[in-house]
Every structure is written in structure tokens, then in C-alpha cells.
Amino acid sequence: MLEIDGLQVEPVIGLEIHVHLRTRTKMWCGCLLAYGAEPNTHVCPVCLGLPGALPVANAEAVALAIRMGIALNCRIAEFSKWDRKSYYYPDLPKNYQISQYDLPLCADGYLEFPFGDAIRKIRITRAHLEEDAGKNIHDIPGLTAVDLNRAGTPLLEIVTEPDLAGAEETREFALQLHRLVRYLGVSDANMQLGQMRFEPNINVRIHADGRVHATPIVEVKNLNSFRSVHGAIDYEIRRQVAAWREDGQVARPGNKANRGWDDNREVTVPQREKEEANDYRYFPDPDLVPVCPDAAQVAAWRLATPELPIPRTDRFISEYKLAPREAPALVDCKATADLLDAAGEFPCDKALLGKHFLSFWSRLANERETTIAGLGVPPRSFSELADLVRDKVINATAAAQIAEEIVARIDGQLGGTGRPGDSDCQRAIPPIDRPEWAPRELADQLGLVQSQDADEIAAWVAAAFEANQKAVGDALANPRKRKAARGFLLGAVMKLSGGKADPRLVGEQIDAELSRRAD
Amino acid sequence: MTTIDPQQVQRLAKLARLDLSDDERARYAGQLDTILRYVEQLAQVDTSDCDPLAHPLPLTDVLRGDVPAPGLDQQDALANAPARHQGFFKVPTVLDQTGGA
């Protein structure tokens, strides 16, 4: 419940989500999905809607839709069919869209996600399979240009019940869905490419004079960013309250309206309504026979559903001792999360392992514009390196150096090609495993095995004190400068030792020396 | 008993993007009426024991693998287009800019 201008306002929001499925080819024909290709170069008689061409459903698209339905806790249909939804628009060459009307593949599910201190449960009405339209290009004066490369792209439409109660909550839900489809490999869900689009249905229940007044429902069309989802809902809530004050209109059959979102002005704008209500004249498509998902296959997919991002985040936080705000960085890329778990299978200090993933392994991946799973480092090397640090064989700086050396050697093998991009969260490359590249081996080769020799360290400390008398003087004269001066001296000793000195022992010796001189 | 009047024909014509004259509207109203009456005979059959039929063929699950197949090149794709513009189909300016499925 919100308070707006002294009124108690309860927003009621349902969401429709369109997701491009991650297939190679279109829904009904063998044309490749191609983003940014020359216009009308990935088309054929089927997706051009030429007379006599017959569609055949893409089995992979059906599989992806069902796998998503399973993750959304949906009931998977035993019998599902295809229907024609008729309307005229230049980007729709057949003059109908093949969709699913009354027997969708997936129905009656829900998604739970943490929001604030609570777990929100949003019911999923249905998830059905259909095809995307082509693209109308309006920015050439005097004409509309049509590119049908996108026509026939497999599209999953997910519809929620009106269970969302605010702009921020809806944005978070949209983000969680985005994360989920990418996790399952159901969609790349690239927002810039329009692979995931949102259409919220919004109205508010205004509590006034002991009664509840529900404002007319508005559907905001085609939002392609999380920011615009939030912005459009936030704006609509305020606009609807103001409109109700003005005209007192409440929701009734037939007064639902469509609006668009103006990204520059950050307002919703009315869309030109057609003179008559849409009449889609749904009927079963005679060109396509029904789909009856095989129960054994569905059961197998159910079993193969990976641990989903939300529970995995919780587990990573407790298992790898990650801070809640750090966890998504390792969870959201599934291939990397799988690799962390593979490394964690070897007995090792998991907290250190997580720390290494967040620090130098991430940095090495970023430098190569790939993911940690794209580095090609064998799982055992991650845990072995963590163990060398835990056992104080090497220090943290040396660990980063060894990691860098391993990856540089793999670079040499790969010749700079074959790594997945940094947004490809599904693909790991096969690790390149050479016994002579094992972390322990490299620690020796690079002379990074830490010195625990007190005399050797004492010599470095003495040399550092000698060379940095100002820092020593500061530390002794001014207690407030002591911490900074100590850090400076520690750095100097590490440098003198070539990174080999055990920083903990160095610190102890510096403290002892400073105390001795202070007396 | 169904009867189709010219107003309903006009609505259908609009949905189908057909431009009909008054004469045609009256003529088609009669013809459509005849067709509907003919089909309506089916309503006399007792179907209380029948499941709804989604498709007349006794087949399900005719699917294809996700395997690319050659399509048309741009020239061929546009060959029958009444108008084109730099590789696009060219159509009269669309005012209602709500694309997408």
C-alpha cells in the first residue's frame, strides 16, 4: 500500500513477458535466427507466408518452452495445440500469428523470489509458444520498410497473475526472470536485441470514503529495459491516481487502454486505439497437428533442471562465505558457477576459493573479455591454488601471479581464439591441463614459495627500515600515522623479498621492531 | 437460426480488408446465410459423448529438428513485392507504430 496525496493506493500489476528462445532456426522453418543481418536475407516461403508453404514446429523450441515451464513450476500439458490469431499488420506476412489459445504448453505455475525481507510468490498463469513478427522500420520518410528476418522467431509468452504490488517489485521480478531464462539456456535474453520484452498491466485500488475504487487497467506495450519497466509502472500509478481525482473513472469491461512508454520524456503516452476492439478470430491451425509432450521426456527434463539462481545464491553465500552482494557475480554466469562447484569438489578452503574467484580469476577473465569458465583452467588448479595459500606455501600476491602465469600459458595454446564472450553464460571451454602448469609446480618455477625463515625475514625488515627512515620516524612520532607507515614498510619488505616473504610474519616483525624502537 | 445482415458483412469485410459495395454486401449476406444454415445442420447431432477435436488428422507431434535449411536470397524474397526499398519490402506509411508479436 502506498500513500499518494493523502490517499491509500494499492497498485495491482500483472506482467506479460516475451522471450526469444535460444534455437538456431526459426519456429516453423529452417531459416537461421540472425540478428543485425542484411534485411530479408534469412527468409523462405514459410516465414514469408507465401501461399502453399507449410510450417513444421521446431522440436527444440518446444523442449525449451517446456524446460522453462518446469522451472516456473508449471503444469506441463499432456495435449497442446496451435491456434491462429488473425490480424493485419505489415510485419505479419501470413496475416495471422501462430500461437496457442486455450491449450498452452505450460500453465498454473509460480516463481518465488526474495524482495526486501520477504519471499514474494508470483503466480504464472501460462507460458505458451508462438512466433515473433518481422520488423517495421519507420524512420525512412514517406514509407514503412519491412524486414522479415525476425518473422517466425520462436517466442515464449509468459503471463503472470496480477500479483505484483509495485514498480520496484515488478522490476525485481523481471530481473529474476531474465536471470532464470539465461540460466536455463532457454534464451540469451539480450535486451538490446529485443530478445526479452515486457508488457505490464497496471491499475490501482484507491481506498477512500470507506470504499475501494479500482482505476481502468492500462497495458504498457513493448518495454525493453528494466529501467523502463520501473519507470512506466511508477508513472502509471501516479497518473492513474491523478486521473481518478479528475474524472472518478473506474475499471469496467471495455475500458482497458494501451499506452506506450516514451523513454526520453519518461512518461506513458496513449496509443491510437483501433475503432473497434481487436477481433483475433482464434481457431485451431489446420497446418499443424497437436503436440503431446512425452511424460518420460518431461520427467527427464524435470530431473535435469539445474539448481536455479535463487537457491544457488543462498548456497554460495553459506558454502563459499560470500557476501550477499558479491554472490550474484559468481552465480549469474552458470558456466562459472558450475566451475566453482567443480573446483569445490576437491577438498580445499572454500572461502579462499570464492575469494580467488571474485578477485584475480575475475580480473583475468575480464581482461580477456570472457568468463572464468572461458579461461580454460582445470578445476583442480583453482582448489590447489587456494590450498597453497591456506597452507602458507605462497601468499595472496603470489597466488595472483601464478594464476596469471597459468592463464598466459593457456593463451599461448589457444592463440587468442576459442574463448566464449563475457555474456555467454552457458559455455565453458575444455580445460587445458599440463602437470608442469600445476600451481605447486609454478610456485617453485617462479620462486614464489614463501619464506618462513625468521632470519631471512629479519634481514629484509632491517633493510626496509634502513631505506625508509621517514616512514619509520612517522610511525614512531605520530600514532595516527602509524597504520599507514606500517603498511608502507610491509610493502617495502614484500618488494625486497620478491613477494616471497610471509606477510603475516613480516607484519609481526615490523610491529616488534617498531615497539622496540618506541621504548 | 442464424441470419447474417449486411452490417455483419461489413464488419467481416473490414476485418478481412475487403472493400465491398452495397450490392455486394447484400448479395454476400444472402450467400453467407446459406452457408451458415448448411453448416448449422451439424448442431442437430448429439455430441455429448464426443471429445473436442483439435485436428482432423489422427496425428500428433510432427516436429522438425533444429537444423538450418537454405532459404531464399534477398532478390528472390523480394521478387513478388509490389514495391521495395534497399532490400526491404516497402509498404505505405504505418501510423500505428506498435510492432512485434
What confidence tens digit (pLDDT) does each residue in A481-494 have? Answer: 888 888 889 999 98
Q: Cα(A469)–Cα(A514) distance, rounded to whole angstroms?
A: 12
Interchain contact, A258 vs B98, CB within 8 Å: yes
pLDDT of A395 = 87
Residue found under cell 553465500: A317
Residue A475: per-residue pLDDT: 82
Helix (H, G, I), strand (E, B) or coil at A472: helix
Is residue A130 less than 8 Å (CB to CB) from chain B?
yes
Residues with Cβ within 8 Å of A516's Cβ and at least 6 positions away in sequence, in order, are none
Residues in A 62-91 with any Cβ partner in B closer than 8 A: 62, 79, 81, 86, 88-91
Q: Has domain A454-518 been given CATH number 1.10.10.410?
A: yes
CA distance A450 to A460: 13
List all residues 6 or more positions away from A19 whose beta carbon is below 8 Å from its beta carbon: A68, A155, A156, A158, A181, A186, A187, A189, A195, A196
A314 backbone φψ class: left, alpha, beta (φ>0; ψ -120 to 50): alpha
Per DSSP, chain B holds a count of helices (H) and strands (E) of 3, 3
Matching residue, cell 564472450? A421
Domains (range + CATH), chain B: 6-43 (1.10.20)
CATH 1.10.10.410 occupies which residues in chain A? Answer: 454-518
Instruction: State the nearest Cα–Cα gap between B78 and chain A, in angstroms.
Output: 8
What would the pLDDT profile of A195-235 be if each residue is shown by its tens digit? 999 999 999 999 998 999 999 999 999 999 999 999 999 99
Contact B73, A24 (CB under 8 A): no
Among A320, A373, A314, A327, CA closest to A348: A320
User: Tell me, what's the ipTM?
Assistant: 0.88
Nearest to A466 by CA among A516, A515, A518, A513: A513
Instruction: Say whether pLDDT at A366 is over 80.
Output: yes
A5 sits in the region (left: phi over 0; alpha: psi -120 to 50; else beta) called left
Q: Which of A317, A308, A313, A426 is nearest to A373 (CA)?
A: A426
Rounded Cα–Cα distance for residues A31 and A26 (Å): 6
Contact call for residues A215 and A237 (beta carbons, < 8 A): no
Cβ contacts of A24 on chain B, cutoff 8 Å: 66-68
Cα(A328)–Cα(A317) distance, integer angstroms: 10
Pairing of strands A196-208, A144-147: unpaired
B67 chain-A contacts, CB cut-off 8 A:
24-25, 30
How confident is the model over A395-423, as pLDDT tens digits?
888 999 999 999 999 999 988 778 999 88
Q: Where are the beta strands (DSSP E) in A106-187?
A: 106-115, 118-131, 135-137, 144-147, 154-160
Question: How high is the pLDDT of residue A514?
Answer: 86
Burial A347-382 (b: 16+ CB within 10 A, else e): ebbbebbbbbbbebbbebbeebebbbbbbbbbbbbb
- pLDDT at residue A473 greater than cutoff 90: no
A87 bridge partner residues: none
Find where cell 491516481 sits. Answer: A241
Q: What is the pLDDT of residues B15-35, one digit of tens each?
A: 888 999 999 999 999 999 999
pLDDT at B96: 57
In angstroms, the CA A193 to CA A499 distance is 47
- pLDDT on residue A204: 98
Rounded mean pLDDT of A431-435?
92
Contact between residue A124 and residue A19 where contact means Cβ atoms under 8 Å apart: no
Instruction: Quick: pLDDT tens for A309-327.
Output: 999 999 999 999 999 999 9
| Contact between A68 and A184 (Cβ < 8 Å) | yes
Compute the Cα dihedral for A345, A346, A352, A356 and give only its sign: negative
Residue A240 φ/ψ, nearest 5 degrees: -70, -35
pTM of the model: 0.86
* pLDDT recorded at residue B4: 86
Tens digits of residue pLDDT in A25-50: 999 999 999 999 999 999 999 999 99
The angle formed by the CA atoms of residues B68, A299 and A80, to the nearest 5 degrees, is 60
Q: Cβ separation of A90 and B91 shorter than 8 Å? A: yes
User: Which residues have C-beta within 8 Å of that of residue A154, sequence separation ≥ 6?
Assistant: A20, A21, A23, A26, A27, A58, A61, A64, A129, A131, A132
Contact A250, A221 (CB under 8 A): no
For A15-36, give one letter per residue: b (16+ CB within 10 A) or e.
bbbbbbbbbebbbbbbbbbeee
**Closest of A132, A110, A130 to residue A122, by C-alpha:** A110
Q: Tell me, yes or no, if B91 comes closer than 8 A to chain A by beta carbon.
A: yes
Q: How many angstroms separate the Cα of B97 from the Cα of each of A15, A146, A375?
A: 21, 13, 45
Distance from CA of B23 to the nearest CA of A (A): 24
Q: What is the number of helices (H) and of strands (E) in chain A?
A: 16, 17
Given this model, what pLDDT does residue A21 score?
Answer: 98
Give residue A276's pLDDT.
Answer: 53
Q: Give the angle subtended at the CA of A400 by the CAs of A394 and A403, to the nearest 5°.
A: 100
CB within 8 Å: A136 and B61: no
Rounded to an integer, the average pLDDT of A459-469 is 89
Which of A180-184, A514-518, B58-62, B81-85 comes out lowest in average pLDDT? A514-518
pLDDT score at A233: 98
Summary mean pLDDT of chain B: 89
Q: Output the average pLDDT for chain A.
A: 93
- Sequence letter at residue A468: N
Q: Give the residue-averaged pLDDT of A498-517.
A: 86
Mean pLDDT across B5-13: 88
Cβ atoms within 10 Å, residue A486: 18
Closest CA to A223 of A201, A198, A202, A194: A198
In chain A, which residue's Cα lies nearest the Cα of B53? Answer: A284
- Give the β-pairing of A211-214 and A196-208: antiparallel
Ramachandran class of A137: left when φ > 0, alpha when ψ lies in -120 to 50, beta otherwise: beta
- Chain A interface includes B58 (CB < 8 A): no
A105 min Cα distance to partner chain B (Å): 13
Check CB contact of B97 with chain A, cutoff 8 Å.
yes
Question: Residue A227 corresponds to which cell in the numbers above?
Answer: 529501467
What is the pLDDT averaged over residues A117-121? 95
Q: What is the dihedral of CA B75, B77, B82, B87, to 10 degrees?
A: -60
Mention every residue, 6+ apart, whose C-beta is less than 8 A from residue A366.
Answer: A422
Q: How confident is the model at residue A246 (pLDDT cuts 50, 70, 90)?
A: very high
By Cβ distance, the residue of A42, A145, A279 closest to B88 is: A145
Those of residues 269-328 in A touching chain B at CB distance below 8 A are 271-272, 274, 276, 279, 281, 284, 286, 288-292
- Which of A65-69, A281-285, B3-7, B67-71 has the least mean pLDDT? B3-7
Neighbours of A330 (CB within 10 A): 22
Contact between A57 and B93 using a beta-carbon 8 Å cutoff: no
